[in-house]
Amino acid sequence: MAHGELKKMAVIYDNEQRNGYCSGEVVSGQVLLQLSESTKVKDIHILVKGYAQVCWNDRLSNCSEERKHLSLSKTLLAATGTQDLILDCGTHVIPFQLELPQSPLVSSFTGKYGRVYYMVKAVLKRPFHEKQHACRELSIISHIDINMPSLIFPMSQTCEKMIGCWIFTSGLVSLTVNVDRMGYCSGELIPIFARIENRSSRLVVPKAVIYQIQTCMANGKMKIVKQVVASVRGNVVPSDSSHRWNGKTLKIPPVSPSILNSDILRVEYILEVIVQIPGAKNLKVKFPVVIGTIPYNGLGRHTFSMSSHSSADMRALTLTLPGVPEAPPSYADVVTEEEFEEHRTSIQLSQPDWLLNGPAYACIQQFRFQPPPIYSEVNPHPIEH
């Protein structure tokens, strides 16, 4: 920035590598001025401001709203009385410190139709000159402790549906899912316990997805953006069989923490466990997920699993056996999700409704999407010598 005697003006933080600040912490740094000659100054002050903004076009109208979340100011240098403050030619480094309020702030966030942003702004006032300023973005983190009792209790849901209708009834598909808690942090693994019962004549595929839901509110209207942040798919469950997920893991990628304390912008997460059923509406259960910043410490509740005591004992016994061979790759590793969806869509488009709802549909899927045979260490067809 150059303006007459002012060659450069910048804001520099003491800790440039810091990821963010939270309520009650001190933001410190320096205002850097480079002057080409001596300059009269009225004052130099520093500002910290924070806003939540949402904006989108709704047909012929524009929906927008803004909320101020933070406003701080501090004078760093100022002339006294009638005496001018003169800064000599050269570089001047003026330190600053500003303490953030103790009250909770809204985390910094940038979405499709809304954002929460904070900035540090240095302002220079000089006689017979316009105000000049330099800005830096400030990252704010509103800490969420996932050890709160409301976020560490187990959750469970069950749903089922009859496939087909009238005389073409194919059978019942049911899904039971258990999750050990609601609160997680970025980078954590969510263990999912599920049981899929497939008594229909079709092959079904279980899948788990984490969605981020951005909700923007302005002018009495609402705009919602739903996007996938993580997913995992299981093996095909054949007709007249069942399958378990004994703690199948879904990793949470680096995402923004949940924003629940703004009245115009909310950021929430949900976990959906889905059973994909060719030719029918998917079966699914939903769980709210809160993405926090303070990790779970393992205290305050009993661990949970949908497996029976006998199953747990067998798993413990298996872990103690030496030299357990590695099982072959899972079905999900062999057939990609894109291949499955492409094949599933082409089958649905090419087959009449009466065939999709009938038991003959199971034969179509067996051509390409048959799961691998059950793994065994014993050769069922030994070679005779």
**HEC string for the chain:** CCECCEEEEEEEECCCCCCCECCCCEEEEEEEEEECCCEEECEEEEEEEEEEEEEEEECCEEEEEEEEEEEEEEEEEECECCECEEECCEEEEEEEEEECCCCCCCCCEECCCEEEEEEEEEEEECCCCCCEEEEEEECECCCCECCCHHHCCCEEEEEEEEECCHHHCCEEEEEEEEECCCEEECCCEEEEEEEEEECCCCCEEEEEEEEEEEEEEECCEEEEEEEEEEEEECCCECCCEEEEEEEEEEECCCCCCCECCCCCEEEEEEEEEEEECCCCCCEEEEEEEEEECECCCCCCCCCCCCCCHHHHHHHHHHHHCCCCCCCCCCHHHHCCHHHHHHHHHHHHHHCCHHHHCCCCHHHHHCCCCCCCCCCCCCCCCCCCC
CA nearest neighbour of 292 among 103, 148, 111: 148
**Do 73 and 215 fall within a single domain?**
no
Last residue of a domain, one of 138, 171, 190: 138
182 & 123 share domain:
no
For the chain, the domain total comes to 2
Write down which residue in 117, 138, 159 finishes a domain.
138
Adjacent-strand bridge partners of 337: none
Residues 118 and 153 in one domain: no
Q: Is the pLDDT of residue 82 over 80?
A: no
In a domain, 305, yes or no: no
Does residue 94 share a domain with residue 36?
yes
Q: Looking at residue 267, which CATH number applies to its domain? A: 2.60.40.640
Residues 206 and 345 in one domain: yes
Q: What mean pLDDT is predicted for residues 350-362?
A: 42
Look at residue 148 and tell me whether its pLDDT is greater than 80: yes
Can you tell me which residue has the tokens 């009225």? 42
Domain assignment present for 384:
no
pLDDT band for 381, please (50, 70, 90 cuts): low
Question: Do 29 and 119 share a domain, yes or no?
Answer: yes
Q: Are residues 337 and 204 in the same domain?
A: yes
Q: State yes or no: pLDDT of 92 exceeds 90.
A: yes
State residue 61's pLDDT score: 85
Predicted confidence at residue 191, as pLDDT, reads 97
Residues 126 and 160 in one domain: no
Same-domain status, 159 and 290: yes
| Number of other CB atoms surrounding residue 137 within 10 Å | 10
Are 181 and 224 part of one and the same domain?
yes
User: Could you tell me if 87 and 196 lie in one domain?
Assistant: no
Other Cβ atoms within 10 Å of 95 Cβ, number: 11
> Looking at the domain assignment, is residue 318 inside a domain?
no
Whether 165 is covered by a domain: the verdict is yes
| Residues 169, 183: Cα–Cα separation, whole Å | 40
**For residue 164, is pLDDT > 80?**
no
Residues 352 and 226 in one domain: yes
Q: What pLDDT does residue 330 have?
A: 53
Range(s) of the domain holding residue 15: 6-138
Final residue in a domain of this structure, among 95, 111, 138? 138
Work out the pLDDT band at 299, boundaries 50, 70, 90: confident
- Is residue 376 a part of any domain in this protein? no
97 assigned to some structural domain = yes
For the cut 50, the answer to whether the pLDDT of residue 141 exceeds it is: yes
Distance CA 26, CA 40 (A): 30
To the nearest whole percent, how much of the chain has pLDDT over 90? Answer: 65
Q: Can you say whether the dihedral through the CA atoms of 82, 7, 4, 132 is positive or negative?
A: negative
Phi and psi based region of residue 339 (left: phi greater than 0; alpha: psi -120 to 50; beta: remaining): alpha
Does residue 314 belong to any structural domain of this protein? no
Confidence bin at 4 (pLDDT 50/70/90): low
- Indicate the residue type of 120: V
Q: Kindly state whether residue 311 falls inside one of the protein's structural domains.
A: no
